[in-house]
Amino acid sequence: MSKEKRSIEELSLWEDAQRMIAKAQREGVETVWDRLEEQTPHCTFCEQGLTCQKCVMGPCRINPKDNGKKQRGVCGAGADLTVARNFGRFIAAGAASHSDHGRDLVEVLEAVGQGKTTDYAVRDEDKLRRLADEVGVEHGDKSVQETAAALAEVFMDDYSFRRNGVSFAARAPEKRRRVWEETGITPRGVDRDVVEMMHRTHMGVDSDATSICLHSARVALTDGWGGSMIATELSDTLFGTPQPRQSTANLSVLKEDQINILVHGHSPIVSEMLLTAVQDPDLLQEARDAGAAGINLAGLCCTGNELLMRQGVPMAGNHLMTELALITGAVELMVVDYQCIMPSLVTIAGCYHTQFVSTSEKAHFTGATHVEFTYTNAIEQARNVVRMAIEAYRNRDPQRVEIPEGPMQLTTGFSNEAILEALGGTPDPLLDALKNGSVRGVVGIVGCNNPKLKHDHCHVNLARELIKKDVLVLATGCATVALGKAGLLMPDAAGEAGSGLQSVCQSLGIPPVLHVGSCVDNARILHLCGVLANALGVDISDLPVAASAPEWYSEKAAAIGLYAVASGIYTHLGLPPNIQGSQMVTDLALNGLNDVVGAAFGVSPDPFEAADMIDARIREKRKGLGLSE
Ligand code: MSK
């Protein structure tokens, strides 16, 4: 990326963002775009994955040019091995993050089952029993609590090691499971597969780039069909399975006359408790006593998605809006759990009257107030945090408050259960629509923002192009906020779709872009693909489906992309991972994986080109199924 200063209009698609970037510049507050500019140009060795810091014989930099100089690190590793080892650890970190989030939900379910908490409970008992049936937990004569305890035990074992595959791998079609078995990438459990990746990539262990790349696929699958899927299913069990509902998005969800609290991170374990606390009549009275009209809770990033999907809590913004939300000067308190929380937020909070509160034993932030949440103290701690926000409100400087106006309406809550319900209880109407071509394909647009790309430009334009081509879009994570702000999560947006998709959406009363959850909830899309493939008697790689992470940045997003590909789903990325120092690894990612798992990656920062790349895959797969292209 060249070091050219971009105008504010080139940084973000949105007026609310542009206004806050301008305010930050006026007030001398540094943002992610300032730091990116300072860091550009980046180290070209690192960009290509050619640096190695895994031992102290180094660090080493491998020369990408074939001119005989520095072609190998001190240990002898060349470009292919260095890139593969770095990529393997990148994927392992992403898989570990999602999955460790899921483990926290298993521990809460276990605490509910053992009667160790009254702050949490099973809100969807039907789902608890369905899951118990699915994984073979006998529950006929068991109470809800006993079933919860038994189910938690099964999932604990899923984190450890299952020689024949994690429990939910059974949701994948048999053909897919055979591909995994033949390739040696059956997902066996997060702890086993991630630890093995760390071992393999130690100096002197796995020294074959292809072998490491295949194990990367296994680690990613363990996340998708293991840790992430468990996180999704248990979040539904504990906090309720999402159903369609209306809400709003963008910075105007902040209220000038109220105490504004933002939840940021990923886990519903903390944010659901905050939602309970802000409805407490005593705290509402304390807020009024402080001069506020009420307490307003809004979400950011994926913990925002969790609350939006299940409870309809408004969404203030996605990843690149997190700093800008504080720059409104209207936020009394930001409470965070883990993942995607820029350390800069503590500094920016300090530029205003905003309190910054960390809650997880796993995620401390220097300069933050740490209020640790556990399953035995969560409600009480949530009340303490709300009181801190009420106190902070007294210090708000009204002269520094600027809240953009005009929230966008959106529809949320499309869990697989809700999608099936909208279809009348079976996937048949969707299969019929796929067969007759009114819906030509289904694409998941997922993932983050990246300041290297114009904020949300790729998300919005890719979705618009796809729905025009009669492709139903499923959205998760930060992409959701972009598509909501563009109005694409409303049934009216069917007017922007091709005639086939338009008629399907109008007859079902649904938008052409369905919000299916947070980034762990990409597991819902895997599950849905499994259901569709099983119904048609084919492999997932035969379906006219694809995925895209147009503005991704994180290790977690890379793990998602790889588990999609390893499940047979063609996946577009807006930017490549740092692998281009190895032609071999790059070729494997872009082409070679097709021969191994029936899908590969495509890369383009241009949403219009990406739409054509995805459309070509959908055409090919429709043709393969004997359907009109
Ligand atoms: S929050 S991983 S920036 S989607 Fe899930 Fe958004 Fe990406 Fe974080």
Per-residue model confidence as pLDDT tens digits over 520-561 = 999 999 999 999 999 999 999 999 999 999 999 999 999 999
Annotated binding residues, written as ranges, equal 43, 52, 55, 60, 75, 266, 302, 340, 448, 478, 519
How confident is the model over 288-343, as pLDDT tens digits? 999 999 999 999 999 999 999 999 999 999 999 999 999 999 999 999 999 999 99
| CA triple 27-28-31, angle to 5 deg | 110
Task: Give residue 65's pLDDT band: very low, low, confident or very high (50, 70, 90).
Answer: confident
Position 133 scores a pLDDT of 98
| pLDDT higher than threshold 80 for residue 605 | yes
- Kindly state the helix (H) or strand (E) to which residue 259 belongs, with its residue range: strand 259-264
Closest-CA residue, ligand 1 atom 7, reads 448
Residue 556, ligand 1, Cβ within 6 A: yes
Strands 471-476 and 259-264: unpaired
Flag whether the pTM goes above 0.90.
Answer: yes
Give the model's pLDDT for residue 384: 98
Handedness of CA 176, 182, 183, 188 (dihedral sign): positive
What does pLDDT average to over the chain? 97
Q: Tokens for 341, please give them.
A: 């929380």
pLDDT at 3: 56
Longest dimension (CA), the chain: 74
- The predicted-structure confidence for 304-317, as pLDDT tens digits, reads as follows 999 999 999 999 99
Task: Kindly give the distance from the C-alpha atom of residue 340 to the centroid of ligand 1, in angstroms, as a whole number.
Answer: 6
List, for residues 573-596, the tens digit of each pLDDT value: 999 999 999 999 999 999 999 999
Residue of 32, 271, 319 best suited for mutating to test ligand 1, as the one with most atoms within 8 Å of CB: 319
Do the Cβ atoms of 618 and 441 come closer than 8 Å?
Answer: yes
Query: 552 C-alpha vs ligand 1 centroid, how far in Å?
Result: 8
CA distances, 293 to each of 206, 290, 298, 311, 382 (Å) = 61, 9, 16, 22, 20
Q: 567 — alpha (psi -120 to 50), left (phi > 0) or beta?
A: alpha
Pocket test for ligand 1, best of 228, 302, 575 (most atoms within 8 A of CB): 302
Q: pLDDT per residue over 100-141, tens digit each?
A: 999 999 999 999 999 999 999 999 999 999 999 999 999 999
Give the tens place of pLDDT for each residue, 401-412.
Answer: 999 999 999 999
Residue 557 in contact with ligand 1 by CB distance below 6 A: yes
The rounded distance, in Å, linking the Cα atoms of 480 and 487 is 11
Ligand 1 mutation pick, 519, 548, 552, 556, max ligand atoms within 8 A of CB = 519
Indicate if ligand 1 lies below 6 Å from the C-beta of 448: yes
Indicate whether residue 262 lines ligand 1 (CB < 6 A).
no
Q: What's the 229 CA to ligand 1 centre distance in angstroms?
A: 17
Query: Side chain identity at 85, as an amino acid letter?
Result: R
Tokens 């203030």: give the residue. 316
Q: Is the CB of 477 under 6 A from ligand 1?
A: yes
pLDDT at residue 1 greater than cutoff 90: no
Query: 123 and 275 in contact (C-beta within 8 Å)?
Result: no
CA 586 to chain centre: 24
Atom of ligand 1 nearest to the CA of 476: 4
- What percent of the chain has pLDDT above 70? 99
Sequence-separated (6 or more) residues with CB below 8 Å from residue 466: 443, 445, 473, 611, 614, 615
* pLDDT per position as a tens digit, 203-246: 999 999 999 999 999 999 999 999 999 999 999 999 999 999 99
- Going by pLDDT thresholds of 50, 70 and 90, the confidence category of residue 67 is confident
Cα(190) to centroid(ligand 1), Å: 20
Burial classification of residue 39, based on how many CB atoms lie within 10 Å of its CB (0-12 exposed, 13-18 middle, 19 or more buried): exposed
CATH of domain 251-400: 3.40.50.2030
Fill in the amino acid letter for 281: P
Q: Using the atom order of ligand 1, give the atom closest to the CA of residue 318.
A: 6
The 10 Å Cβ neighbour count of residue 485 is 28
- Asked if the model's pLDDT at residue 149 lies above 80, the reply is yes
Residue 12 DSSP SS3: strand
Q: What is the pLDDT of residues 437-481, one digit of tens each?
A: 999 999 999 999 999 999 999 999 999 999 999 999 999 999 999
Q: Ligand 1 atom 8: the closest Cα is on which residue?
A: 340
Average pLDDT over residues 78-85: 98
DSSP state of 407: P
Domain definitions of the chain by residue range: 8-61, 79-239, 251-400, 413-624
Considering the segment(s) 413-624 as one domain, its CATH architecture is 3-Layer(aba) Sandwich (3.40)
340 lines ligand 1 (CB under 6 A): yes
pLDDT at 2 over 70: no
> Is any atom of ligand 1 closer than 6 Å to the C-beta of 226?
no
For strands 408-412 and 245-249, give the pairing: antiparallel
How far is 211 from 580, CA to CA, in rounded Å?
A: 18
> What's the per-residue H, E or C state across 592-624?
HHHHHHCCCEEECCCHHHHHHHHHHHHHHHHHH
| Rounded Cα gap, residues 101 and 417, in angstroms | 23
CB within 8 A of 19, min separation 6: which ones?
Answer: 402, 404
CB of 301 within 6 A of ligand 1: the answer is yes
Q: In terms of CATH architecture, what is 79-239?
A: Up-down Bundle (1.20)
Same fold, 79-239 and 251-400: no
Question: Where does the pLDDT of residue 66 fall: very low under 50, low under 70, confident under 90, or very high at 90 and above?
Answer: confident
Tell which one of 315, 345, 448 to mutate to probe ligand 1, the residue whose CB is within 8 A of the most ligand atoms. 448
